[in-house]
Amino acid sequence: MDLIERYLGAVRWNLPAGKTDDILAELREVIESRIEDREEALGRSLDQREISVLLKEFGHPITVAGGYHDQRALIGAQLFPFYWLALRIVLAIVLVIEAFRFGGRVIASAAPLAQTISQASSGAATSLLLSAALVTLAFAVMERTGWLSDYLRTWKPESLPSLPRIEARPRKIGEPIAGVILGIAFLGWWMGAFHINWMPRESDVLIQAAPIWTALYWPVAALIAAGIARDAASLLVPAWKPLRALLCVACAAGTAAICAILYRSGQLATVIPVNADAEQLAHIQEGLDIAMQIGIPAIGAITILQCGVELWQIYRERRN
Amino acid sequence: MPVEGDLFEKMRVELRRGSLVLAVLVALREERYGYTLRQSLEAAGLPIEESALYPLLRRLETQGLLTSEWREDAKRNKRFYRLSADGESVLAQLLGEWNAISESILRLDTKGDE
- Cross-chain Cβ contact A32/B50 below 8 Å: no
Position B99: which residue type? N
Q: Looking at chain A, which residue has its C-alpha nearest residue B55?
A: A68
Residue-by-residue pLDDT tens, chain A, 320 positions: 589 999 999 999 889 888 899 899 999 988 988 898 889 889 998 899 999 999 998 889 998 998 888 777 888 888 899 999 999 999 988 988 887 787 777 766 777 777 877 888 888 889 999 999 999 999 999 888 888 878 888 888 888 878 776 665 666 778 888 889 999 999 988 888 887 776 666 667 777 788 888 888 899 999 999 999 988 888 888 888 888 888 888 898 888 888 888 887 877 788 777 776 777 778 778 888 888 878 888 888 888 888 888 888 777 776 55
Residue A304: which residues within 8 A CB-CB, separation 6 or more?
Answer: A99, A100, A102, A103, A252, A256
Q: Looking at chain B, which residue has its C-alpha nearest residue A30?
A: B35
A–B interface: beta-carbon pairs under 8 A: 42
**How many residues comprise chain B?**
114
DSSP notation for A241-287: HHHHHHHHHHHHHHHHHHHHHHHHH--SEEEEESS--HHHHHHHHHH
pLDDT (mean) for B36-54: 89
What residues of chain B lie within 8 A of the CB of A29, using their CB? Answer: 33-35, 76-79
Substitution target from A8, A11, A15, A29 for chain B, most B beta carbons within 10 A: A29
The confidence score (pLDDT) of residue A167 equals 62
Other beta carbons within 10 angstroms of residue A205's beta carbon come to 16
Q: What is the ipTM of this complex?
A: 0.76
The confidence score (pLDDT) of residue A195 equals 76
| CA pair distance B52, B49, nearest whole angstrom | 5
Question: Which 13-52 residues of chain B touch chain A by CB within 8 A?
Answer: 33-35, 49-52
Chain A: give the shortest CA distance to residue B93, in Å.
Answer: 24
Q: What b-and-e string marks burial along A213-245, b requiring 16 or more CB atoms within 10 Å of the CB? A: eeebeeebeebbebbbbbbbbbbeeeeebeebb
The confidence score (pLDDT) of residue A168 equals 57
Nearest to B79 among A26, A32, A59 (CB): A26
For residue B1, name the pLDDT band (cuts at 50, 70, 90).
Answer: very low
**Per-residue pLDDT at B25 exceeds 70:** yes
- Cross-chain Cβ contact A30/B50 below 8 Å: yes
Residue B98 sits in which domain range? 2-113
Other beta carbons within 10 angstroms of residue A20's beta carbon come to 16
Indicate which CATH number applies to the domain containing B35: 1.10.10.10
Domain ranges for chain A, please list them: 2-66, 80-156, 174-319
Contact assessment for residue B63 and residue B69, using Cβ atoms and an 8 Å cutoff: no
